[in-house]
């Protein structure tokens, strides 16, 4: 996290560290993933283990910055399906604008894992979770690298009345948001640091 926060870290290193961190967070985030018993034959005897239940979990990166987390996540659960939501925050109003969405219409019975490095005001993550719940998702896990207390509160307010199991896994909770809605101390604009274009 320290190298990620450092403004002198270049995009290539930033991408690599993001991927590595996500794989670590994914261990925590997949604790409640639904599995079912599966039996295999070892060279010695039958052995009972587990495999992912159907329907398979759906990983949802929020474009653009969430895309930097996808590879790290699918390394751990390569058979997950992937749906996409594109959102960009209006930097004046801080409201998210949805510009793309490629998700199945029916997510009934699906566990969804949402990826976004930054939870600032919470607008983008809350909007995405609402999309998923409206389509029937019944278990949501969000993975972020950095969160502001304000965003965590906003997410809680949205999720509590929905009464579906939800978990937020973050690498660090920072101090606050500044007047421009940036996380302090944060790491700046995650999308720009990953991809270098504004
Ligand atoms: C960033 C970040 C989140 C959002 C967080 O994306 O990746 O999606 O801001 O802010 P919020 O919690 O206040 O909604 P941005 O809108 O900059 O788009 P980008 O991923 O294309 O850079
Ligand atoms: N989006 C970012 O990329 N960084 C922040 O600090 C806040 C929102």
- Contact (CB, 8 A) for 107 and 132: yes
Give the SS3 label for residue 180.
coil
51 CA → ligand 2 middle, Å: 36
User: What is residue 198's predicted lDDT score, i.e. its pLDDT?
Assistant: 64
- The reply to whether ligand 1 has any atom less than 6 angstroms from the CB of 89 is yes
Domain hosting 37: range is 2-195
- The reply to whether ligand 2 has any atom less than 6 angstroms from the CB of 189 is yes
User: What is residue 100's predicted lDDT score, i.e. its pLDDT?
Assistant: 96
User: What is residue 197's predicted lDDT score, i.e. its pLDDT?
Assistant: 76
The total of structural domains in the chain comes to 1
Burial 53-89 (b: 16+ CB within 10 A, else e): eeeebbbbbbbbbbbbbbebbbebbeebebbbbbbbb
Does this complex have an ipTM over 0.95?
yes
Which ligand approaches the C-alpha of residue 177 most closely? 2
| Ordered per-residue pLDDT tens for the chain, 198 residues | 999 999 999 999 999 999 999 999 999 999 999 999 999 999 999 999 999 999 999 999 999 999 999 999 999 999 999 999 999 999 899 999 999 999 999 999 999 999 999 999 999 999 999 999 999 999 999 999 999 999 999 999 988 888 888 999 999 999 999 999 999 999 999 999 999 876
User: What is residue 163's predicted lDDT score, i.e. its pLDDT?
Assistant: 84
- The reply to whether ligand 2 has any atom less than 6 angstroms from the CB of 146 is no
Angle between helices 149-159 and 123-134 (to 10 degrees): 20
190 CA → ligand 2 middle, Å: 6
What is the model's pTM? 0.95
- The reply to whether ligand 2 has any atom less than 6 angstroms from the CB of 190 is yes
Protein residue whose Cα sits closest to atom 10 of ligand 1: 120
Q: Which residues make beta-bridge pairs with 89?
A: 96
- Contact (CB, 8 A) for 70 and 23: no
- CATH number for the domain harbouring residue 103: 3.40.50.2020
């Amino acid at each position: 996290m320290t190298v990620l926060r450092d403004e002198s870290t270049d995009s290539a290193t930033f991408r690599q560290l993001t991927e590595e961190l996500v794989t670590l967070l994914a261990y925590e985030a997949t604790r409640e993933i639904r599995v079912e018993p599966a039996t295999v034959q070892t060279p010695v005897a039958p052995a009972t283990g587990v495999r992912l239940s159907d329907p398979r979990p759906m990983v949802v990166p929020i474009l653009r910055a969430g895309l930097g987390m996808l590879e790290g996540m699918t390394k751990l659960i390569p058979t997950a399906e992937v749906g996409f939501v594109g959102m960009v925050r209006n930097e004046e109003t801080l409201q998210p604008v949805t510009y793309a969405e490629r998700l199945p219409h029916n997510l009934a019975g699906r566990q969804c894992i949402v990826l976004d490095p930054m939870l600032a005001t919470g607008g983008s993550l809350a909007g995405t979770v609402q999309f998923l719940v409206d389509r029937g998702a019944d278990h949501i896990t969000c993975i972020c690298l950095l969160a502001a207390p304000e965003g965590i509160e906003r997410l809680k307010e949205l999720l509590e009345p929905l009464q579906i199991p939800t978990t937020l896994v973050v690498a660090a909770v920072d101090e606050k948001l500044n007047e421009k809605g940036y996380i302090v101390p944060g790491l700046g604009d995650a999308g720009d640091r990953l991809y270098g274009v504004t």
